[in-house]
Copies of this chain bind each other. A is one copy, B any other.
Amino acid sequence: MDKMIGTSTVAQIGILVHDIEKTAKVYSEFLGVEPKFVTTDAYNQAETNYLGSPSEARAKLAFFSVGPSLDIELIEPDEHPSTWRHDLDKNGEGIHHIAFFIKGMDEKVMVLNQKNMPLLQRGKYTGGEYSYIDATDDLKIVLELLENH
């Protein structure tokens, strides 16, 4: 069978939190795994676009390896507009998305948009780019596509 985004391997489970230092400490004790902390880039590098508009939004991230090719990613967003901030305010702390590594971001975003899965947010990180896709109608989740260049 064809894979709509060229892969079926889940790479990350993204979890929104209010206080990443506090929750990362609990995860570290629970999993017995040390986190890797990252802060997303400022707008001049990340070029974050949320719902069609540029946003200064940034987030603190903490990654925990939880499988051969799977990470749990904790996300503490700042107050600027983003899918992270919106969903944390609306739904509280908890799982926000699952992520896949793909190839060909523009094409994959277009294919999903045609399938009732519209783009929420795009941006860049050192060595790659990401897109969040609203797949809540059909898949009941938010997707993240990741592409390393």
Contacts and interface: CB of A to CB of B under 8 A. Distances in A.
A135 B32 CA distance: 16
B31 A8 contact: yes
A58 to B, nearest CB: 20
For chain A, which range describes its interface: under 10, 10 to 19, 20 to 34, or 35 or more residues?
35 or more
Nearest to A1: B32
A5 B33 CA distance: 12
Contacts of A8: 31-33, 64-66
A125 B5 CA distance: 34
Given A8-B64, A9-B67, A23-B138, 10 more contacts: A1-B32, A4-B32, A8-B32, A8-B65, A15-B140, A27-B139, A67-B69, A93-B136, A94-B95, A94-B141
Interface of A: 1-5, 8-10, 13, 15-17, 23, 26-34, 64-70, 72, 91, 93-95, 98, 135-136, 138-141
